[in-house]
């Protein structure tokens, strides 16, 4: 398997399913207080070019739970690609750390770091392309709630357009990455967006090629009520961000709020079993109402908690997978989980 986790398209459906399975094993071990120290004395650089809540906390806590050390490098601590090339920085950190977790403005910077690194790289989000750590968590959450992935009906409602990070308009990266992983894993994916903020043809072409192999159905519509009519899971993300111009925010509210806000009226158009998802942070009262966020159909906080468990799985799979099992006579609860984790990891070789 590829040494880096920077794009879900680098992995087969079977490999992604194994990462979901591993997330379940480590979650169970953590809940039982029996998670083994599989990254004991290992250090991982946590490079963040942007502020972060769930991603930063989940990776840092995960490193501690696994017996390792996460070195948080906040925005401005290093001059990534400015006073030193990304390649040079990557090689230096590789000499000192066992892995690199990085949140960057541009996917090209993470790809450049992976090119020169001799240790595994994990993509903790780019603002222009993807967020593979988040969407692995989303698939794991759906699997946990339904017991399956293939054939699920996932509906994304809201902005799905490319955006322009240089103008403060971030690309709809969650929608696009959900499209990628759904097409790989056989999850039916419907995007409901107004024509002004609709996904372009190129990412759809790429996804439909994968969908032909997995059996997934990919649909784009501007009718959200029709889209959610058969949904198992309904997902949205914020459509305005800090730094976006006031005029653009007003324009988006005028176009998106009347039809594409996730409110009780839209949820009534979905089956009673449909669950609501959001990667957070949510702008309550804009893309989603309090009534939905705090309802029995909302699983947003289960989803947020699962960031920790999928981060544990990613760190084990890509950085700590070469751990040595203890001798037969030292069978503790933690060691039994280490054996179970080892059996799952064998599928990734």
| Co-location of 204 and 309 in the same domain | no
The answer to whether residue 307 is catalytic is yes
| Co-location of 290 and 155 in the same domain | yes
At which residue do the structure tokens 């991603």 appear? Answer: 55
Average pLDDT, the chain: 94
Residue 188 clears pLDDT 90, i.e. is over it: yes
| Co-location of 52 and 85 in the same domain | yes
Instruction: For 17-50, give the secondary structure using H, E and C.
Output: HHHHHHHHHHHHHHHCCCCCCCCCCCEEEEEECC
In this prediction, residue 268 has a pLDDT band, given cuts at 50, 70 and 90, of very high
- Residue-wise pLDDT tens digits, 107-164: 999 999 999 999 999 999 999 999 999 999 999 999 999 999 999 999 999 999 998 7
Which is the catalytic residue, given 134, 137, 177, 210? 134
What is the per-residue pLDDT for 75? 80
**How far is the C-alpha of 170 from the C-alpha of 230, rounded, in Å?**
29
What is the per-residue pLDDT for 284? 97
Which is the catalytic residue, given 180, 279, 309, 321? 279
Upstream peptide bond of 128 is cis (omega within 30 degrees of 0): no
- Residue-wise pLDDT tens digits, 288-308: 999 999 999 999 999 999 999
| Co-location of 123 and 186 in the same domain | no
Which is the catalytic residue, given 54, 56, 131, 252? 131
**How far is the C-alpha of 141 from the C-alpha of 174, rounded, in Å?**
15
- Residue-wise pLDDT tens digits, 150-184: 999 999 999 999 987 666 677 899 999 999 999 99
Q: Is residue 245 included in any domain, yes or no?
A: yes
In this prediction, residue 52 has a pLDDT band, given cuts at 50, 70 and 90, of very high
| Co-location of 156 and 296 in the same domain | yes
Whole-angstrom Cα Rg for the chain: 20
Q: Is residue 349 included in any domain, yes or no?
A: no
Q: Are 11 and 1 in contact (CB under 8 A)?
A: yes
| Co-location of 96 and 151 in the same domain | no
Its sign, for the CA torsion 24, 308, 298, 156, is: negative
Maximum Cα–Cα distance across the chain: 68
User: Mapping DSSP to helix (H, G, I), strand (E, B) and coil, where does residue 119 land?
Assistant: coil
Phi, psi of 64 (to 5 degrees): -65, -45
| Co-location of 113 and 18 in the same domain | yes
| Angle between the N-to-C axes of helices 54-65 and 300-318, in degrees from 0 to 180, rounded to the nearest 10 | 50
Distances (CA, A) of 156 to 163, 172, 223, 295: 17, 11, 12, 18
- Residue-wise pLDDT tens digits, 18-41: 999 999 999 999 999 999 999 999
Average pLDDT value for residue range 245-266: 95
What is the per-residue pLDDT for 244? 84
What is the per-residue pLDDT for 79? 77
* 80: its two tokens: 């990534």
| Co-location of 307 and 200 in the same domain | no
Domain boundary among 257, 281, 300: 300
The answer to whether residue 237 is catalytic is yes
Q: Are 103 and 52 in contact (CB under 8 A)?
A: yes
What is the per-residue pLDDT for 256? 97
Q: Are 344 and 18 in contact (CB under 8 A)?
A: yes
**How far is the C-alpha of 90 from the C-alpha of 337, rounded, in Å?**
33
Helix runs in the chain, H state only: 13-31, 54-65, 86-96, 107-116, 132-146, 173-185, 201-214, 224-227, 246-260, 264-268, 290-293, 300-318, 333-345
| Co-location of 318 and 260 in the same domain | no
* 5: its two tokens: 């986790």
| Co-location of 151 and 95 in the same domain | no
Domain boundary among 281, 300, 319: 300
Q: Are 118 and 147 in contact (CB under 8 A)?
A: no
Which is the catalytic residue, given 184, 307, 309, 321? 307
| Co-location of 75 and 124 in the same domain | yes
Which is the catalytic residue, given 7, 190, 237, 309? 237
Whichever domain contains 182, its CATH number is 3.40.50.1370
In this prediction, residue 333 has a pLDDT band, given cuts at 50, 70 and 90, of confident
Which is the catalytic residue, given 13, 103, 176, 252? 103
The answer to whether residue 279 is catalytic is yes
* Domain extent for 237: 138-300
The domain tally of the chain equals: 2
| Co-location of 117 and 13 in the same domain | yes
């Amino acid at each position: 398997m590829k040494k880096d986790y920077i794009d879900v398209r680098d992995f087969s459906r079977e490999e992604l399913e194994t990462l979901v399975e591993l997330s379940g094993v480590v979650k169970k071990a953590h809940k039982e207080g029996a998670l083994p120290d599989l990254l004991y004395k290992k250090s991982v650089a946590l490079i963040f070019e942007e502020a972060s809540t769930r991603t930063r906390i989940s990776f840092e806590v995960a490193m501690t739970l696994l017996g390792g050390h996460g070195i948080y490098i906040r925005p401005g601590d290093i001059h990534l690609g400015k006073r030193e090339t990304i390649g040079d920085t990557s090689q230096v950190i590789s000499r000192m750390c066992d892995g690199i977790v990085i949140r960057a403005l541009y996917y090209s910077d993470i790809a450049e770091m992976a090119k020169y690194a001799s240790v595994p790289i994990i993509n903790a989000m780019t603002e222009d392309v993807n967020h593979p750590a988040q969407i692995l968590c989303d698939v794991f959450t759906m699997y946990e709630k339904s017991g399956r992935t293939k054939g699920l009906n996932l509906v994304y409602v809201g902005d799905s357009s490319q955006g322009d990070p240089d103008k403060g308009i971030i690309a709809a990266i969650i929608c696009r990455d959900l499209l990628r992983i759904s097409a790989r894993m056989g999850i039916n994916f419907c995007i409901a967006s107004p024509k002004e903020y609709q996904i372009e043809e190129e990412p759809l072409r790429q996804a439909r090629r994968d969908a032909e192999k997995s059996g997934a159905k990919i649909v784009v519509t501007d009718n959200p009520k029709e889209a959610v009519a058969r949904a198992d899971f309904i997902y949205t993300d914020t459509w305005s961000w800090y730094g976006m111009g006031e005029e653009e925010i007003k324009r988006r509210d005028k176009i998106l709020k009347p039809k594409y806000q996730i409110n009780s009226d839209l949820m009534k158009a979905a089956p009673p079993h449909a669950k609501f998802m959001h990667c957070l942070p949510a702008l309550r009262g804009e893309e989603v109402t309090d009534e939905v966020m705090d309802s029995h159909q909302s699983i947003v906080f289960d989803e947020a908690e699962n960031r920790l468990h999928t981060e544990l799985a990613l760190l084990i799979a890509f950085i700590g997978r070469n751990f040595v099992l203890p001798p037969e006579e030292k069978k503790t609860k933690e060691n039994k989980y280490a054996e179970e984790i080892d059996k799952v990891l064998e599928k990734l070789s």
